[in-house]
């Protein structure tokens, strides 16, 4: 029987690549549902091609088929649709509640939305332990996921997450103050949506991945390391207790980790160019410049504090990034605003209602902090 797949965020960058993988996999998978935030036109084209039983649209009017609409469309799809795998590739906290519902229903969640585990990791992993399963789509976590299959849990000494360094590798903090949105959106190796591309440029993306890895693989933050690897060939590594390092290598293409998640490690031809070591450039590694890119340390701090602090850090960042893209604040203001909001927060236990409340508060606090720093311009 084909694996029935419901895709939240089907019109986004990851969602489109998921559909590309599904097309390659043929009768191994069946797309039973598609959902988008507001791109009704693309959703209609996808629906005409895939003819899913279920459609959802958060904002706007659907132009194809009968769709669940409104702010709870994703959640209702997760509750009502018949599926085996829920792909969560939406941006922001909107993916948290559908993920919880899918896990409570005993489903597999193929997770591409960092915010789900960053903000609600404790509750989400608790639900996954009772029923359901989380399989990561992120290339870094997929790499770790693949490596740990060969290692007993107690033998994992360290996770090493690799970062390309983004478009500003080697820049000083002072020089980063001049960065424009156009420059920040020009990632050297990956093609992603604007939010995650800016997070990659600030290295907040890597900080979010540290918190994700903490929940996915059960290691404390101090045993999760980030290093810069500009070639993006080694997607991440696992160091074992005997000092050996296992690494997953491949060309920078999200379709491989997507297929790994959809097929749960079943190895079939991807139709992609195979990785050829003889054609590979020299592989280099370097430490992160933590002074120039303070977002990484903010994430480590949030992970150590725990409770609702990661949700607050994430919410403040989610509010700050659009303000930068709109030209209301500078590039380095993103980290400074997140820092201020974290300093104001008094963390609580990370129950789902407290996480949602903390996220909303952090967004408001970030906008207030931005207005204070710009004299009301933000």
For the chain, domains (ranges, CATH) are 3-137 (3.40.50.720), 138-253+263-294 (no CATH)
Give the pLDDT mean for 87-111: 94
Please give the Cα distance from 355 to 87 (Å, whole number). Answer: 22
Indicate the pLDDT class of residue 191, thresholds 50, 70 and 90. Answer: low
Q: Which of 58-72, 98-112, 205-219, 225-239 has the lowest mean pLDDT?
A: 58-72
Please give the Cα distance from 140 to 203 (Å, whole number). Answer: 14
Q: What is the pLDDT of residue 67?
A: 85
| pTM given for the model | 0.92
- In 51-113, which ranges are continuous DSSP H helix? 73-80, 96-104
Burial class of residue 311, CB neighbours in 10 A (0-12, 13-18, 19+)? buried
Q: Which of 53-57, 189-193, 236-240 has the lowest mean pLDDT?
A: 189-193
pLDDT at 378 over 70: no
Q: What is the pLDDT of residue 177?
A: 95
Q: What is the pLDDT of residue 219?
A: 95
Residue-wise pLDDT for 102-139, tens only, equals 999 999 999 999 889 999 999 999 999 999 999 999 99
Give the pLDDT mean for 290-305: 97
Q: Is the dihedral of CA 281, 286, 291, 297 positive or negative?
A: positive
Give the pLDDT mean for 311-336: 96
Of 306, 308, 298, 324, the C-alpha closest to 359 is: 308
Mapped onto helix, strand or coil, the DSSP state of residue 203 is coil
């Amino acid at each position: 029987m084909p694996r029935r797949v419901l895709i939240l965020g089907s019109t986004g960058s990851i969602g489109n690549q998921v559909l590309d993988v599904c097309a390659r996999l043929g009768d191994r998978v069946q797309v039973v549902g598609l959902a988008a935030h507001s791109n009704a036109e693309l959703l209609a084209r996808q629906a005409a091609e895939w003819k899913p039983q279920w459609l959802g649209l958060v904002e706007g009017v659907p132009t194809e088929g009968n769709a669940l609409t409104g702010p709870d469309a994703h959640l209702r799809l997760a509750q009502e649709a018949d599926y085996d795998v829920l792909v969560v590739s939406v941006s922001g906290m909107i993916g948290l509640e559908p993920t919880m519902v899918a896990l409570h229903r005993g489903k597999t969640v193929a997770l591409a939305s960092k915010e789900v585990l960053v903000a609600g990791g404790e509750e989400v992993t608790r639900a996954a332990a009772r029923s359901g399963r989380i399989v990561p789509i992120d290339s870094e976590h997929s790499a770790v996921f693949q490596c740990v299959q060969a290692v007993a849990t107690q033998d994992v000494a360290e996770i090493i997450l690799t970062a390309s360094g983004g478009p500003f590798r080697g820049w000083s903090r002072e020089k980063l103050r001049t960065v424009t949105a156009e420059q920040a959106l020009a990632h050297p190796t990956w093609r992603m949506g604007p939010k995650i591309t800016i997070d990659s440029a600030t290295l907040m993306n890597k900080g979010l991945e540290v918190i994700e890895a903490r929940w996915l693989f059960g290691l404390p933050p101090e045993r999760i390391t980030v290093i810069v690897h500009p070639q993006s060939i080694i997607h991440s590594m696992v160091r074992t207790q005997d000092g050996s390092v296992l690494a997953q290598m491949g060309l920078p293409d999200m379709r491989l980790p997507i297929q790994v998640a959809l097929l749960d490690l079943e190895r079939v031809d991807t139709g992609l160019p195979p990785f050829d070591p003889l054609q590979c450039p020299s592989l280099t590694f370097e430490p992160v410049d933590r002074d120039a890119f303070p977002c990484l340390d903010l994430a480590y701090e949030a992970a150590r504090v725990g409770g609702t602090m990661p949700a607050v850090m994430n919410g403040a960042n989610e509010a700050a990034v659009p303000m930068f893209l709109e030209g209301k604040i500078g590039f380095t203001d993103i980290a400074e605003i997140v820092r201020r909001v974290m300093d104001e927060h008094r963390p609580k236990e990370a129950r789902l209602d407290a996480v949602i409340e903390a996220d909303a508060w952090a967004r408001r606090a970030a906008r207030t902090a931005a207005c204070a720093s710009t004299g009301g311009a933000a």
